[in-house]
């Protein structure tokens, strides 16, 4: 089956680089045509610390996607993550004129430009902007101000900034791999667009993505992003705790976590944690595994709660919590989240909006799918993006020329 338009997206994950080739489906979703992956290399905290090994790993993942989809790839959309990202609220104000008239698109663009014209940290650029609500002539809570009569337009916008140095280094490393860095988006926002339904985003929901070295969070309310952030703890730290407690290698601990991971002690026979300090290798019982993993996961969730601060309003999150990521696979994760956050929680790993095509390989593909949706223009509330020093803008016309069929 021939496709007029293909999308190529790359998820630069902590432990694995994943490249997805997809096409728009007639139903409005995506059809997966191919995928490739490679073990992450030279990559730490959302940045390449070894350009050479990082570029080779990217090239390996892209070549796998090329072979899988039977296309030649020239470039792709990629995700940005890491502790260099900062989020903040900004307010813009625009005078429509002395006489009241209907708000038009130029007024909306003008007020958004003023909201993004704020002082940000040195070497940072605005990577994403999302208008949350508008105010017209002092009347707040306007969702769409277009065609509403008024003389003064205001906007409350949610912005994400990131290091220009990191962004340039990401682009440089991708170019070194032999491919074009076509566009980018924030990982956490992309993941949310692939996993959350419009109803959940409208009614209020918290997405927790427990990755390898980071746990990212995104709050949606009234159909818009109302907060996002990350804490520097994730599944790798859970694995390390397990390796230390059971006195096994990290690889063995990862296998135990994936196959028999348990994050809630109440789901297993009670075990005295003192056995961890006895000589010899402890018994790998479910109770002992839970005694090791529960404190770390509880700490991660508590750190997320603290990081959310005033953005976390339980009464407005009517759809509770959706948890994803490799670190969420342990049994009992949802129950522990419910205990710490006092909200209903559910695990969701499979991306929404896929129809037909090839099945995705095993692993965490939600971010790659979200990036593909955003690149296509279908990601909900994906925000706007821009290069360092440039105003936020959506990519236009870059999809063409990024591939050719073999």
Choose between 182 and 272: higher pLDDT. Answer: 182
* Residue 264 included in any domain: yes
Q: What is the pLDDT of residue 405?
A: 54
* Residue 355 included in any domain: no
* Residue 286 included in any domain: yes
Statement to judge: residues 210 and 258 lie in one domain? yes
Give me the domain span that covers residue 141. Answer: 86-161
Q: How far apart are the first and last CA of the chain?
A: 14
The counts of H helices and E strands in the chain are: 10, 21
Choose between 388 and 121: higher pLDDT. Answer: 121
Statement to judge: residues 257 and 140 lie in one domain? no
- Which of 92-101, 144-153, 156-165, 272-281 is least confident? 272-281
End-of-domain residue from the set 323, 348, 373:
348
Indicate which CATH number applies to the domain containing 318. Answer: 3.30.420.40
pLDDT band at residue 27 under the 50/70/90 scheme = confident
Q: What is the mean pLDDT of residues 42-53?
A: 96
User: Is it the case that residue 277 has pLDDT exceeding 70?
Assistant: no
Statement to judge: residues 202 and 150 lie in one domain? no
Q: What is the pLDDT of residue 116?
A: 94
Statement to judge: residues 344 and 211 lie in one domain? yes
* Residue 385 included in any domain: no
Token pair listed for 335: 């129950």
Q: What is the pLDDT of residue 151?
A: 96
> Percentage of the chain with pLDDT > 90?
69
Indicate which CATH number applies to the domain containing 116. Answer: 3.30.1490.110
Statement to judge: residues 302 and 213 lie in one domain? yes
* Residue 360 included in any domain: no
Statement to judge: residues 110 and 219 lie in one domain? no
CA dist., res. 381 & res. 239, Å (int)? 34
How many domains in the chain? 2
The reported pTM is 0.83
Statement to judge: residues 137 and 243 lie in one domain? no
End-of-domain residue from the set 348, 368, 399:
348
Q: What is the pLDDT of residue 403?
A: 54
C-alpha dist (Å) from residue 306 to 156, 263, 302, 365? 23, 21, 6, 28
């Amino acid at each position: 089956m021939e496709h007029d338009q293909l999308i190529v997206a790359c998820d630069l994950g902590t432990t694995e680089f994943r490249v997805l080739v997809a096409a728009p489906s007639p139903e409005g979703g995506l059809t997966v045509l191919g995928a490739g992956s490679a073990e992450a290399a030279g990559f730490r905290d959302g940045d390449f610390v070894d350009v050479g090994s990082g570029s080779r790993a990217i090239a390996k993942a892209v070549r796998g996607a090329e072979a899988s989809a039977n296309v030649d790839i020239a470039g792709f959309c990629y995700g940005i993550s890491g502790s260099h990202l900062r989020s903040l609220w900004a307010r813009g104000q625009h005078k429509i004129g002395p006489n009241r008239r209907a708000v038009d698109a130029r007024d909306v663009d003008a007020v958004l430009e003023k909201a993004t014209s704020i002082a940000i940290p040195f070497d940072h650029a605005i990577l994403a902007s999302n208008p949350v609500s508008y105010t017209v002539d002092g009347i707040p809570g306007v969702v769409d101000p277009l065609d509403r009569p008024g003389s003064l337009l205001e906007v409350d916008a949610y912005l994400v900034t990131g290091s220009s140095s990191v962004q340039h280094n990401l682009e440089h490393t991708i170019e070194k791999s032999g491919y074009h860095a076509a566009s980018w988006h924030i990982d956490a926002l992309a993941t949310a667009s692939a996993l959350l339904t419009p109803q959940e985003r409208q009614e209020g929901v918290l997405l927790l993505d427990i990755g390898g070295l980071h746990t990212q969070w995104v709050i949606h309310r009234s159909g818009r992003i109302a907060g996002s952030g990350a804490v520097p703890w994730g599944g790798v730290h859970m694995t390390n705790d397990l390796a230390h407690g059971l006195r096994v290698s990290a690889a063995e601990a990862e296998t135990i976590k994936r196959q028999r991971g348990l994050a809630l002690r109440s789901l297993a026979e009670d075990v005295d944690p003192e056995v961890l300090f006895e000589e010899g290798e402890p018994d790998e019982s479910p109770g002992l595994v839970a005694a090791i993993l529960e404190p770390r996961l509880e700490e991660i969730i508590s750190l997320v709660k603290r990081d959310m601060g005033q953005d976390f309003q339980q009464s407005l999150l009517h759809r509770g919590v959706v948890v994803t990521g490799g670190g969420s696979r342990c049994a009992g994760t949802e129950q522990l989240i419910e205990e710490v956050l006092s909200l209903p929680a559910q695990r969701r790993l499979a991306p929404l909006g896929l129809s037909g095509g090839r099945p995705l390989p095993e692993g965490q593909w939600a971010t790659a799918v979200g990036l593909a949706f955003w690149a296509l223009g279908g990601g909900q509330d994906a925000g706007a993006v821009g290069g360092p020093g440039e105003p936020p803008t959506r990519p236009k016309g870059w999809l063409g020329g990024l591939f050719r069929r073999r």
